[in-house]
Structure 1
Amino acid sequence: MMHIDEDSAAAALAESMRVLRSRSNGRVPVSRLPDEILLMVFKDIEEEKRLDGYDSDDDETDDRVGDAPACLVVTHVCRHWRKIALECPTLWTLIRSTPPLWLDVVLERSQKAPLVVSYTAFSISVLEDCMDKVLLHLPRIKHLELRVSEYEVAHVMDLLSSQPAPMLEKFKFFLYNSLPTTVSTPNTIFQGQAPLLRHLDVFISDRIWSSCIFGGLRTLRVVRPSLPDLLSALRCMPTLEQLSLVYGLSRSVQPIPFNKVPLARLKSITVDGISLQNAVSLLAHLALPVDIKIALQLSPITGPHTFADLFSVMGEHPDGSGPVFRSLRVIKPNPSGLAVQFSTSTTINSHYSWDPQDDDIRLSIECYNEDLEAHPNGPFDEIPRDTAINICQIIAQRRPQAFFSGEFESIQMQGCSDFIGGLTAALRIEGSSNVTYPSLRVLELQDILFDGHELQDLRDVFIMRAQHNVPVHDLRFRLCKDLTADQMQLFQEVVVNGIDCDEYTLEHSQA
């Protein structure tokens, strides 16, 4: 009897302590927050985790460990918080390689709310235990990102074709740890019903992305399609705004239609790893808006086509119009590369990217030499230099007129001492009327080591331009080395506003 009384007393004491703790916690300011405020905090927690892991462009992301629900932690704080969290289905909609332990919990607690799913099927067990179960809820998935091995592609495609996807807005499909490959896919993906789909990102060389159900796309990112397949798909995407091609174009023996594909709403096109010849072929078959943003990463610079051909197909607009460029940047981003960017602004943002976010930079061309990367001490450094000279001369000769409308007011050259000779040749005035870059006012030379006659030749050109009433107004040196005091003085005499040197250049100048 005494033992039973002791147990009862202990239980009563524990309950009393619980009540006291509950009352004490109730007096804490955070416990007096309205439910609406707590719910906003919980949603921020869930959203932070969603942004931290989902919608990443890193194809190497490995989600093998899996994630427990983001708001699981708040359900363990107190009964009140747990009640609020469990009564809000939208807190349980993120499924990011969620392990089987929590998958059923998330699917139940999310009720009928739209799901955001990111799953990696790195094994048959994950495919059977998790992904099969998740894709049963395909009709309420809003964002879907799948990474599968080539051995599971067929099975996953069957699952994707088993139901419609009326709520799907974004679909990403990658092959896990594998190169793009062609697989047999059904034509009934999503049973032909994905009316809200606007973003498609596929790492697979199959014409899954050419289905008519993708006609409402705004964004398309596809890996190494053939040009005929791509053009066929684009004809069914009149509302497309962003087009990205990864690894350029694959070879194809299929005939290419002669008529161009109209893409009146396209805002940007980004292509990496494409040859100059394929870039010319691609742009020649697209009817692009005048204000399009183009970013091309070319490798290697070989083949029958030239940059004049590339600029010609870019400049073919029915009304003869084109972008009005105000500034030009030539930069050497690495030992094997050369980049040229054209901006509609009088200045170019200092942060270089071959695919810039700056809307003023309307055309970016980066060329890199694979041979130089493989053999850094080999005889391949002349190819980027010739490329720079070639581009500068084409611009100077204003070919074609439609593309290079407007006048360059500023030019920036960064990290490329060898290219100053090409610029000097382009700026030189030949005859009494052949004035190149007549609106040029600012020239900035950055991160350059002067070790030859480049500056003397450039000064002679400045004198010549001043004599023809088209002088350079500002010459800027940034992060340069081995300028002499005599050279600085000589330029002071031929530049309208004199020269401007940063502290680094002054410190590394010769006495």
Structure 2
Amino acid sequence: MNSQDSRIVAGLVLPSSSSCNHQNHFTTTIQSSDFMTDTTSKNACETQFDQIDQEILRYEEAVRDLKSRRNLLAPISKLPAEILCAIFVFCTLPDPLTPTNYAADYRWRWITVTHTSRLWRNTALSCPTLWSKPEFTKTEWAYEMIRRSKMAPLTIEVTSNYWLTPRVVDAVSEGLKHLPRINELHLSASRDNMDKLLSGINSPAPFLRTLYLDIGRSDYYYHSRAEPYILPEDFLGGDASRLSHIELTRCHLRWDSSLLRNISFLKVHNPGPPAPTLDQFIGALSGMPQLEILDLENTLPGTSDTEHTEKPGVSLPRLRKLRTVGSLQECAIFLEHVVVPSNATIHIMAKCSDIPDEGSPTIQLIHDVCQRLPVARETATTSSATNSPLIKSLLVQSMGIGSGLIVEAWNSVAKSRPTATALNPSREINLNPLATAPSVGWLKLEFTWQSAVIRQIHNDVVVAICRPLPLAQLRHLHIRNGYQDSVNSPTFARTFGTLPKVNSLTVEGTSTYEFVDALNYHTGSQSATGYNGLASSSSSNPNPGRPTLAFPALRTLKLLEADFDRDHEAENTLLEPLMDCLMHRYEHKSEIHKLILERCSHLNSEDVAELQGIVADVDWDHIECGYSDTEDEDMDDEFDDEMDDVFGGEAYFGYGASYISSDEDMMFMGF
């Protein structure tokens, strides 16, 4: 066989095609043999891989067992499971120090306890309370948490309509199927979604303690134009024997509903028509002898019409906090028929339909509202000591031309309280019994109207509000008014100047001129009758019957944000009247001992030096401003920088990167 008639394959000398008729068959046999060899080798490798992987798993499991045994020797592992569960549940509570904007990011950090050790995980999984508040924004979590919660009391909470996708609605509906063990139901939703969730919820809820339904703040679309949602008459089957806390916003519940029994916390905002009749309203409150918190907005009886021969009324002896918002007439009707303890925190917001001109029915009605306040009633009916808190600090604030007036009272003389409230006068009294709000007054009255204000409106309203109040023990008076034409000196002096114990006065805004002028007024005989029949002691005046200077006990005067050149006459127009006032009071033995000047404009060190020649103790913040536009712009920039330091520079929107997803199910992390 020569080279032309043969070829070498895989080291073997094979005959050529011309010399061997079986070439194709032989080649196929060799290739099949190679394939079988490769497959066998591959299968052998995979078998070895599997054996090695299984061996690794056995070692890893052994290591985990060793770690678990080691962890069991740690002191914390000696704690009983019940204590560990209590600690884990405590970890789920919101941190009061965490800003609200970031609360959602921190909410699920407690889940790490299930990945710390085998003991902790088993303990957490066997603790139903830990899973009793399903996270409905993550639907897979919600179903699993409902399953893990077993028979523990459930909290169903949806805080925004934004999250209510169809899948979330289904998950919430699944949670509502466990109504017999729901402890708290909190839904903020659009009217349509609320109807989807609550339709058919007509079975009893024996463990339900808190009911919170909100249409108004589900999102910005529904806040101002949402139609109220009318709860079905058979809602919860009318049977929720443990229900004690109800909050409804733009949700209408009949006032004769059996759910409104033995309530301790009731908040109803903007439920829509029809408004309750006086008999329905009094009847409902009569069934709440344990009521402690009452917050009603635009849901008061509009008339005093009654089917009873005697005037209906109800006493709420355990009420601690009251807030009512309505028309002036509605607030007057409420205070006439509902008796509230005098030591309760009270916030009345009354909207005047007519301009409170001098001698108008509106002025008289404002006076009637204040006269019906518990603290005014007790003072008028008895001269003996009562449980009523004494008014020791008072803030009187103008809300602007044609807007209204705020009067706020404290039973202490802490200086920070009126000032702190003045920084945010619109804030509401916090009705949360677990929260503290030391800067909010014990009594707050707001009267609003719409008009082109004339000079006497604020004066008459101040008199109508303050005359019925027991101000004999008032120590600190804070006047905040940025509109110079809304007050006058004689009214201010007659209204407050006769008070015998006012030793501190704060005047804030551009009305400083009028109030400084009022300090020069003489208020008549020292023995004249003052507020609420109080006769001032004549022993403080060596010449009884002679006129005395307004604010005889005043020793500290604070001018805040006063413009010493209010009329822009390029000269200090307030300095001279202020110096004359201080000298006048010094000559009449009612000198000012301390003068405080803060954030005043058109005031310099030379002016302060002149004031120090009259008052020994002058406390000035050394801020000179108002002399040029550039200076004012620099102050604005400094203020903006301070606000950036406080709020972090940039506004924070959203709920953090962990909450960003086009599909809520994509956020499921598994646990």
TM-score, structure 1 normalization: 0.77
Residue in structure 1 matched with residue 511 of structure 2 by the alignment: 419
Change (3 A) 1:103 1:96: closer
Residue in structure 1 matched with residue 174 of structure 2 by the alignment: 133
Residue in structure 2 matched with residue 479 of structure 1 by the alignment: 599
Q: Of 403, 407, 420, which residue of structure 2 is paired with 1:351?
A: 420
Q: Do residues 33 (structure 1) and 147 (structure 2) align?
A: no
Residue in structure 1 matched with residue 246 of structure 2 by the alignment: 200
Q: Of 297, 309, 316, which residue of structure 1 is paired with 2:368?
A: 309
Please report how far the alpha carbon of residue 173 of structure 1 lies from its aligned counterpart in structure 2 after TM superposition.
Answer: 0.7
Please report how far the alpha carbon of residue 288 of structure 1 lies from its aligned counterpart in structure 2 after TM superposition.
Answer: 1.8
Paired with 2:393 and 2:593, the residues of 1 have a C-alpha distance of 15
Aligned counterparts, 1:425-444, within 5 A: 428-433=521-526, 437-444=551-558
Count of equivalent residues: 482
3-state SS of 2:420 partner: coil
Range with bigger deviation, 225-234 or 471-480: 225-234
Range with bigger deviation, 406-415 or 248-257: 248-257
Q: Do residues 410 (structure 1) and 476 (structure 2) align?
A: yes
Range with bigger deviation, 352-361 or 194-203: 352-361
CA contact (8 A) 2:302 2:330 kept: no
3-state SS of 1:213 partner: coil
Residue in structure 1 matched with residue 3 of structure 2 by the alignment: none
Q: Do residues 220 (structure 1) and 266 (structure 2) align?
A: yes
Change (3 A) 1:301 1:439: farther
Please report how far the alpha carbon of residue 469 of structure 1 lies from its aligned counterpart in structure 2 after TM superposition.
Answer: 5.2
Residue in structure 2 matched with residue 255 of structure 1 by the alignment: 305
Aligned residue type for 1:389 = N
Q: Do residues 324 (structure 1) and 397 (structure 2) align?
A: no
- Deviation digits for residues 165-209 of structure 1, max 9, x if unmatched? 222222101124434645543444333332332221101252346
Change (3 A) 1:473 1:404: farther
Paired with 1:160 and 1:266, the residues of 2 have a C-alpha distance of 31
Aligned residue type for 1:399 = R
CA contact (8 A) 1:392 1:426 kept: no
- Deviation digits for residues 300-358 of structure 1, max 9, x if unmatched? 68444224333222222354665421122234678967543222212341321543522
Aligned residue type for 1:328 = L
Please report how far the alpha carbon of residue 220 of structure 1 lies from its aligned counterpart in structure 2 after TM superposition.
Answer: 1.4
Please report how far the alpha carbon of residue 139 of structure 1 lies from its aligned counterpart in structure 2 after TM superposition.
Answer: 2.1
Change (3 A) 1:123 1:21: closer
Paired with 1:230 and 1:466, the residues of 2 have a C-alpha distance of 57
CA contact (8 A) 2:396 2:406 kept: yes
CA contact (8 A) 2:318 2:341 kept: yes
Paired with 2:370 and 2:303, the residues of 1 have a C-alpha distance of 26
Q: Of 143, 150, 153, which residue of structure 1 is paired with 2:184?
A: 143
CA contact (8 A) 1:212 1:236 kept: no
Change (3 A) 1:6 1:150: closer
Q: Do residues 170 (structure 1) and 210 (structure 2) align?
A: yes
Paired with 1:422 and 1:244, the residues of 2 have a C-alpha distance of 38
Residue in structure 1 matched with residue 409 of structure 2 by the alignment: 342
Paired with 1:191 and 1:114, the residues of 2 have a C-alpha distance of 19
Paired with 1:331 and 1:95, the residues of 2 have a C-alpha distance of 46
Residue in structure 2 matched with residue 286 of structure 1 by the alignment: 338
Residue in structure 2 matched with residue 2 of structure 1 by the alignment: 44
CA contact (8 A) 1:412 1:445 kept: no
3-state SS of 1:270 partner: strand
Paired with 1:180 and 1:67, the residues of 2 have a C-alpha distance of 32
Residue in structure 2 matched with residue 377 of structure 1 by the alignment: none
Q: Do residues 90 (structure 1) and 124 (structure 2) align?
A: no
Paired with 2:96 and 2:146, the residues of 1 have a C-alpha distance of 16
Change (3 A) 1:155 1:22: same
Q: Of 82, 90, 97, which residue of structure 2 is paired with 1:44?
A: 90
Please report how far the alpha carbon of residue 231 of structure 1 lies from its aligned counterpart in structure 2 after TM superposition.
Answer: 4.3
Change (3 A) 1:289 1:68: closer
Q: Do residues 447 (structure 1) and 561 (structure 2) align?
A: yes
Paired with 1:102 and 1:334, the residues of 2 have a C-alpha distance of 51
Aligned residue type for 2:114 = T
Change (3 A) 1:38 1:50: farther
Please report how far the alpha carbon of residue 222 of structure 1 lies from its aligned counterpart in structure 2 after TM superposition.
Answer: 1.0
TM-score, structure 2 normalization: 0.61
3-state SS of 2:348 partner: strand
Paired with 2:107 and 2:395, the residues of 1 have a C-alpha distance of 48
Paired with 1:339 and 1:82, the residues of 2 have a C-alpha distance of 56
Change (3 A) 1:86 1:344: same
List gaps (5 residues or longer) in structure 2: 1-42, 356-360, 430-436, 483-508, 529-547, 567-572, 628-671
Please report how far the alpha carbon of residue 223 of structure 1 lies from its aligned counterpart in structure 2 after TM superposition.
Answer: 0.9
Q: Do residues 389 (structure 1) and 459 (structure 2) align?
A: yes
Paired with 1:158 and 1:319, the residues of 2 have a C-alpha distance of 53
3-state SS of 2:524 partner: coil
3-state SS of 2:472 partner: coil
- Deviation digits for residues 272-309 of structure 1, max 9, x if unmatched? 5x444443343333222111222234556844422433
Range with bigger deviation, 337-346 or 427-436: 427-436
Cα RMSD after superposing both structures: 4.2
Residue in structure 2 matched with residue 265 of structure 1 by the alignment: 318
Q: Do residues 101 (structure 1) and 101 (structure 2) align?
A: no
Paired with 1:297 and 1:128, the residues of 2 have a C-alpha distance of 37
Range with bigger deviation, 450-459 or 184-193: 450-459
Residue in structure 2 matched with residue 375 of structure 1 by the alignment: none
Change (3 A) 1:78 1:324: closer
Aligned residue type for 1:481 = S
Aligned residue type for 1:344 = N
Please report how far the alpha carbon of residue 235 of structure 1 lies from its aligned counterpart in structure 2 after TM superposition.
Answer: 2.9
- Deviation digits for residues 407-452 of structure 1, max 9, x if unmatched? 3222233463343356457653233335655544433222232324
- Deviation digits for residues 443-485 of structure 1, max 9, x if unmatched? 3222232324556556656566566655544332222222356
- Deviation digits for residues 79-132 of structure 1, max 9, x if unmatched? 333211111111101124354322332122111111122036675835762233
CA contact (8 A) 1:170 1:199 kept: yes
Aligned residue type for 1:500 = D
- Deviation digits for residues 3-24 of structure 1, max 9, x if unmatched? 4344213311232134235535
CA contact (8 A) 1:393 1:426 kept: no
Paired with 2:604 and 2:169, the residues of 1 have a C-alpha distance of 72
Paired with 1:330 and 1:80, the residues of 2 have a C-alpha distance of 61
Q: Do residues 364 (structure 1) and 455 (structure 2) align?
A: no
Paired with 1:126 and 1:277, the residues of 2 have a C-alpha distance of 47
Paired with 1:340 and 1:90, the residues of 2 have a C-alpha distance of 46
